[in-house]
Amino acid sequence: MLQIGQIAPDFKLVDQNGKEHKLSDYRGKKVVLYFYPKDNTPGCSKQACGFNELHNSFVEKNAVVLGVSKDSLTSHERFSNKYSLSFPILSDESLEVCNLYDVYKEKKNYGKTYMGIVRTTYVIDENGIIISAKEKVSTSANPAETLEALE
């Protein structure tokens, strides 16, 4: 996991609408970069809807929310439309950014070991420095806790 005080690695990914996003495009704003395992699953949907409900509060704090998973652009488009998400969902099918941010790791579920995205949220300041890093976050509490981290 990347550490607080570290410079956040720059990246370039495409969102559900085909628009390219680079972390460096957001200099001067805070960035909430949250990684989640899979579109349209109960936990991931709850987390995305939580960020969506608080979207205006993030904007008021000069922050943008960016969700990232390894799902396809088509999957992201369906997910975004289903929940009327007001923020970009970025596709990292190659796992390049997930690996840069150290969120693609070995996981265990019901005794089975596999590789997957560990639900992780980073808050990056206006200068590209990580100011908050949380791993294995609660899907329901994460959006509000992240908003508080911007205080």
Supply the pLDDT for residue 86: 96
Whether residue 151 is predicted with pLDDT greater than 80 in this model: the reply is: no
Whether residue 7 is predicted with pLDDT greater than 90 in this model: the reply is: yes
Chain segment 18-74, per-residue pLDDT in tens = 999 999 999 999 999 999 999 999 999 999 999 999 999 999 999 999 999 999 999
Residue 98 among the catalytic residues: no
Radius of gyration of the chain (CA): 14
* CB atoms near residue 13 (< 10 Å): 20
Whether residue 79 is predicted with pLDDT greater than 90 in this model: the reply is: yes
Supply the pLDDT for residue 139: 94
DSSP label of 99 = H
Q: Which fold has domain 29-140?
A: Glutaredoxin (3.40.30)
- What is the longest distance spanned by two Cα atoms in the chain? 45
| pTM for this predicted structure | 0.95
Q: Which of 23, 32, 44, 124 is catalytic?
A: 44
E strand intervals along 1-151: 12-15, 20-22, 30-35, 63-69, 89-91, 104-109, 112-117, 120-124, 130-135
Mean per-residue pLDDT of the chain? 96
Confidence category of residue 119, pLDDT binned at 50, 70, 90 = very high
Mean pLDDT of 88-103: 97
Supply the pLDDT for residue 20: 98
Supply the pLDDT for residue 90: 98
- What residue ranges do the domains of the chain occupy? 29-140
